[in-house]
């Protein structure tokens, strides 16, 4: 585990005493637990009903999510919505969140390009996702991409080995790993259709499990 040092003490001290999703959504906007808050526009907690049976966990908010303060509303979120529709999952019935709550990016001209969070930043942010899961107690947790999977299931976890399979974990009785929808969008043009079809097939399995 990465050791956290002042002046970035990790997120735990910023969690509210009374933990509800609305109280966490407010408190995350005040989090200075790691350096990412300095350049991000918003801390972005998850979104969805407290009664949700399924939680989908990505890596970090993207540029659109950072500006709007909501998870999965950018291009990757739109692709996830299409996969939900294909699988017969209503977005409003599931909870969407990220392992890290502030957007990490590098600048390329005027554009802000997603950057992968470090182990330190992931560890600093873990209390938020732990609090969300404690409140929600979901039946199914879907981790989207290697960063989220390794943050929550351990550094030795490999999406390529466990993709498309349900297994029990500390996160939920039914845990499932697949790629992040952003990875589908970044796939080379000639491979993108297959990547999309495979991702949709994975989300179809989740839909069947929920039914």
Q: Check which CATH number belongs to the domain holding 35 and give it.
A: 3.40.470.10
Q: How many domains does the chain have?
A: 1
Share of the chain residues as helix, strand and coil, in percent rounded to the nearest 5:
45, 15, 40
Structural domain contains residue 2: no
Q: Indicate whether 50 belongs to any domain.
A: yes
* Residue 125 and residue 33 in contact, taking contact as beta carbons nearer than 8 Å: yes
pLDDT, residue 3, reads 54
Q: Is the pLDDT of residue 5 over 70?
A: no
pLDDT value at position 41?
A: 92
- Is 8 buried (19+), middle (13-18) or exposed (0-12) by CB count in 10 A? middle
Checking if the pLDDT of 2 tops 70, the result is no
DSSP 99-128: SS-S--EEEETTEEEE-PPPHHHHHHHHHH
| pLDDT of 75 strictly over 90 | yes
pLDDT band, very low/low/confident/very high, at 26 (cuts 50, 70, 90): very high
Domain containing 22: what range? 12-210
How does pLDDT run across 59-70, given as a tens digit for each residue?
A: 999 999 999 999
The answer to whether residue 66 sits within a structural domain is: yes
Instruction: Please write the tens of the pLDDT for every residue from 28-41.
Output: 999 999 999 999 99
109: region left, alpha or beta (phi > 0 left; psi from -120 to 50 alpha): left
> Average pLDDT for residues 149-155, to the nearest whole number?
91
Over residues 1-11, mean pLDDT: 63
In a domain, 94, yes or no: yes
pLDDT, one tens digit per residue, over 96-128 is 999 999 999 888 888 888 889 999 999 999 999
The counts of H helices and E strands in the chain are 8, 7
Please determine, for residue 175, whether its predicted confidence score (pLDDT) is greater than 70. Answer: yes
Give the pLDDT mean for 11-31. Answer: 94
Q: Quick one: pLDDT at residue 7?
A: 62
Q: Mean per-residue pLDDT for 153-170?
A: 91
> Is 153 among the domain residues?
yes
The arithmetic mean of pLDDT across residues 40-61, rounded, is 95
């Amino acid at each position: 585990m990465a050791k956290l040092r002042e002046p970035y003490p990790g997120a735990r001290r910023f969690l509210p005493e009374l933990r509800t999703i609305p109280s966490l959504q407010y408190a995350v906007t005040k989090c200075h637990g790691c350096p990412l808050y300095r350049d991000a526009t918003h801390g972005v907690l998850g979104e969805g009903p407290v009664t949700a049976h399924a939680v989908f966990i990505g890596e970090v908010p993207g540029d659109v999510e950072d500006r709007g303060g909501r998870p999965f509303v950018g291009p990757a979120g739109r692709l996830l919505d299409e996969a939900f529709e294909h699988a017969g999952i209503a977005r409003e019935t599931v909870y969407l969140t990220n392992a890290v709550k502030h957007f990490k990016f590098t600048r390329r001209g005027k554009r802000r390009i997603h950057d992968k969070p470090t182990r330190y930043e992931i560890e600093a942010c873990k209390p938020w996702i732990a609090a969300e899961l404690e409140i929600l107690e979901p039946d199914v947790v879907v981790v989207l991409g290697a960063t989220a999977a390794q943050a929550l299931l351990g550094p030795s976890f490999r999406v390529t080995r466990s993709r498309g399979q349900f297994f029990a974990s500390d996160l939920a009785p039914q845990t499932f790993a697949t790629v992040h929808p952003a990875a589908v969008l970044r796939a080379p043009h000639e491979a993108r259709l297959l990547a999309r079809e495979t991702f949709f097939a994975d989300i179809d399995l989740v839909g069947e499990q929920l039914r």
